[in-house]
């Protein structure tokens, strides 16, 4: 029995020793017995050879705050094609995107009621004309009788007044006929200029109302970007000023010019409307989304050459020259200003950064 107990103790000691050796081996494989370098600071093998001529000193510099405000591309000339009279819409000949020429038929309104009014006005004019002809003949006879002293002054004045009244009736009836004919003309909505239909807002059978658009027409040339800019920044803009506009749909930036600045400030948003004339650009259309990019205010920034920043995955690093050695430093950058880039963390004023030419050695 003591012999069996001795064997068990010996077996447990053997297993414990094996486990200890395994643990020590794992620690060694993970570098547990090797001294570590502090994160973010990695000395280079040839750091003592760095020439000062290939370095720059980090300094603060005042730079513009480049901001971007969203806007929409719109046509300079837009027309809402709407009836001048109340009538049912019989026909609409265009759809959104259609090109039209000046004078082309856009829509037609029901003209039956106006036709009836025209016939009634013409009949009334005929009656007034006949009455005026009789009054004119009576006045002519009365002038003869009055000239022969065969009629009194009172009779003469009465007949002449009837003649004038009858002629006034003719003039009034004539105006009524002209008005009805104008209304008849207004049953046809025509294109006022060559353009493109942007929207079709009504359908045949709908009631056409004065001032309520049936379609929206615009000229595709002469486009502008309309942007609401905070009034705290509009003081930096003047009419005729050159600005940069970015069009997302075309993935390009366009040089443009400010065409108009609204003097009115929106009391709700505290913004002013700025309209920017855009040059002719292929595929640029009304409705495209764009950005006005311009400086508004300044701030102090740490700037280094863009080429001094290296990218490793999503990490940004630079090489700092300190005490005769190259040290890798993790940084975070922001906007670029020409060939310079702003560093918002990872560097301090006065530090020496190695430029791209040195990093290539």
Q: What is the 3-state secondary structure (H, E, C) of the chain?
A: CHHHHHHHHHHHHHHHHHHHHHHHHHHHHCCCCCCCCCCCCCECCCHHHCCHHHEEECEEEEEEEEEEEEEEEEECCEEEECCCCCEEEEEECCCCCCEECCCCEEEEECCHHHHHHHHHHHHHHHHHHHHHHHHHHHHHHHHHHHHCCCCCHHHHHHHHHHHHHHHHHHHHHHHHHHHHHHHHHCCEEECCCCEEEEEECCCCCCEECCCCCCEEEECCCCEEEEEEEECCCHHHCCCCCEEEEEECCCCEEEEEEEEEECCCCCCCCCEEEEEEECCCCCCCCCCCEEEEEEEEEEEEEEEEEHHHCEEECCEEEEEEEECCEEEEEEEEEEEEECCEEEEEECCCCCCEEECHHHHCC
Angle between helices 153-185 and 112-147 (to 10 degrees): 160
Give the predicted TM-score (pTM) of the model.
0.53
The order of strands in the sheet holding 105-109 is 188-190, 105-109, 87-92, 207-208
What confidence score (pLDDT) does residue 183 get?
A: 84
What confidence score (pLDDT) does residue 72 get?
A: 92
Residues 202 and 99 placed together within one structural domain of the fold: yes
Q: 41 lies in a domain?
A: no
Domain endpoint, select from 256, 279, 296? 296
CATH number for the domain spanning 104: value is: 2.40.50.100
Q: 279 lies in a domain?
A: yes
By the 10 Å C-beta count (0-12 exposed, 13-18 middle, 19+ buried), 73 is classed as buried
Domain count, the chain: 5
Residues 287 and 234 placed together within one structural domain of the fold: yes
- How far lies 300's CA from each of 59, 232, 334, 349, 352, in Å? 10, 20, 13, 12, 19
pLDDT one digit per residue (tens) for the chain, 361 residues: 445 545 566 666 677 766 666 566 544 444 444 444 344 444 444 444 445 567 888 888 888 777 889 999 988 888 999 999 899 999 999 998 899 999 999 999 998 888 888 888 888 889 889 988 888 888 888 888 878 887 788 888 888 898 899 899 889 989 988 888 888 888 899 999 998 898 899 999 999 999 999 999 988 778 999 999 998 888 888 999 999 999 988 888 889 999 999 999 988 989 999 999 999 888 888 888 999 988 887 788 888 888 888 888 888 888 888 887 888 889 898 888 878 888 888 888 888 888 865 444 4
Tokens of 154: 């009172």
What confidence score (pLDDT) does residue 23 get?
A: 64
Q: How many Å apart are CA 218 and CA 198, to the nearest integer?
A: 7
CATH number for the domain spanning 340: value is: 2.40.420.20
Q: 224 lies in a domain?
A: yes
What confidence score (pLDDT) does residue 51 get?
A: 52
- How far lies 122's CA from each of 24, 74, 194, 236, in Å? 117, 47, 36, 65
What confidence score (pLDDT) does residue 176 get?
A: 87
What confidence score (pLDDT) does residue 33 get?
A: 47
What confidence score (pLDDT) does residue 177 get?
A: 86
Q: Which domain holds residue 212?
A: 82-109+190-218
Residues 86 and 214 placed together within one structural domain of the fold: yes
Residues 255 and 130 placed together within one structural domain of the fold: no
Residues 312 and 260 placed together within one structural domain of the fold: no
């Amino acid at each position: 029995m003591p012999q069996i107990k001795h064997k068990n103790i010996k077996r447990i000691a053997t297993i414990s020793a094996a486990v200890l050796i395994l643990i020590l081996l794992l620690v060694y494989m993970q570098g547990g017995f090797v001294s570590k370098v502090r994160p973010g600071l990695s000395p280079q093998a040839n750091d003592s050879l760095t020439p000062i001529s290939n370095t720059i000193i980090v300094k603060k510099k005042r730079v513009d705050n480049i901001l971007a405000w969203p806007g929409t591309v719109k046509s300079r000339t837009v027309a809402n094609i709407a009836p001048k009279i109340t009538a049912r819409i019989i026909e609409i000949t265009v759809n959104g995107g259609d090109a039209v020429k000046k004078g082309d038929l856009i829509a037609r309104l029901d003209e039956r009621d106006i036709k009836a009014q025209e016939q009634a006005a013409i009949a009334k004019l005929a009656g007034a004309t006949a009455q005026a002809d009789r009054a004119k003949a009576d006045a002519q006879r009365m002038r003869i009788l009055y000239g022969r002293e065969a009629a009194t002054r009172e009779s003469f004045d009465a007949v002449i007044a009837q003649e004038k009244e009858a002629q006034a009736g003719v003039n009034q009836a004539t105006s009524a006929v002209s008005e009805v004919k104008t209304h008849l003309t207004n049953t046809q909505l025509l294109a006022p200029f060559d353009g493109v239909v942007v929207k079709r807002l009504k359908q045949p059978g709908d009631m056409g109302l004065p001032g309520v658009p049936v379609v929206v027409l615009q000229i595709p040339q002469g486009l502008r970007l309309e942007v609401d800019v905070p009034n705290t920044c509009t003081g930096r803009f003047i009419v005729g000023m050159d600005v940069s506009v970015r069009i997302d749909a075309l993935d390009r930036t366009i040089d443009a010019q400010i065409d108009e600045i609204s003097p009115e400030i929106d009391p709700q948003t505290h913004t002013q409307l700025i309209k920017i004339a855009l040059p002719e650009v292929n595929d640029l259309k009304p409705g495209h989304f764009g950005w006005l990019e311009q400086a508004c205010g300044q701030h102090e920034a740490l700037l280094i050459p863009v080429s001094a920043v290296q990218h490793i995955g999503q990490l940004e690093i630079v090489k700092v020259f300190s005490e005769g050695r190259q040290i890798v430093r993790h940084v975070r950058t922001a906007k670029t200003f020409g060939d310079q880039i702003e560093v918002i963390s990872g560097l301090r004023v006065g530090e020496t950064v190695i430029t791209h030419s040195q990093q290539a050695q």
